Amino acid sequence: DIVNADKMSGRSRKYKIIFSPQKFYACEMVLEEEGVLGDVTCDEWSFYLLPLDEDIISMELPEFFRDYFLEGDHRWINPVARALQLLNSLYGPFGKTHGIGRCAKMSYELWRDLEEESDGEGQGRKPEIGHVFLMDRDTDYVTALCSQVVYEGLVDDTFRIKCGSVDFGPDVTSSDKSIKVLLNSQDKVFSQIRNEHFSNVFGFLSQKSRNLQA
Does residue 71 surpass a pLDDT of 70? yes
Q: So what's the pLDDT on residue 122?
A: 57
Task: Label residue 184 by pLDDT band (50, 70, 90).
Answer: very high
Does residue 117 surpass a pLDDT of 60? yes
Q: What is the pTM of this model?
A: 0.77
- Write down all domains in the chain, each with its CATH number in brackets: 2-44 (no CATH), 50-137 (3.40.50.1910), 151-209 (3.90.830.10)
Q: Residues 115-128: what's their mean pLDDT? A: 76
Phi, psi of 96 (to 5 degrees): -140, 145
CA distance 3 to 39: 8
